[in-house]
Amino acid sequence: MLRYASVMVGRRRYTIPEAARSLGITPESVLEAIRRGRLKARLKTVRVPRKIWFIAAESVEAYVVSASHQERGFKKSLVA
């Protein structure tokens, strides 16, 4: 089972929970997007045996949430 980090890792990358909050979708949806190749991410071992996905900020910013997620209310409106 994959564990998620809750700490900030910098501006250039996101953890799964951070990307989920930024995109307004669930962490499970982010992980599914990674598995399908829609989000580029790297799996890194930070402490044995803990592994964390790191997602490039550019990938999160370029990711488009599907209409079905938006219709179900997973996508939060972003205020500029």
Over residues 19-67, the pLDDT tens digits come to 999 899 999 999 999 999 999 999 988 877 788 889 999 898 888 877 6
Q: Cα–Cα distance between 67 and 75 in angstroms, integer? A: 9
CB 75 within 8 A of CB 25: yes
Q: Cα–Cα distance between 49 and 11 in angstroms, integer? A: 25
Q: Sketch the domain layout of the chain as residue ranges.
A: 13-71
pLDDT at position 2:
42
The burial of 7, by beta-carbon neighbours within 10 Å (0-12 exposed, 13-18 middle, 19 or more buried), is given as exposed
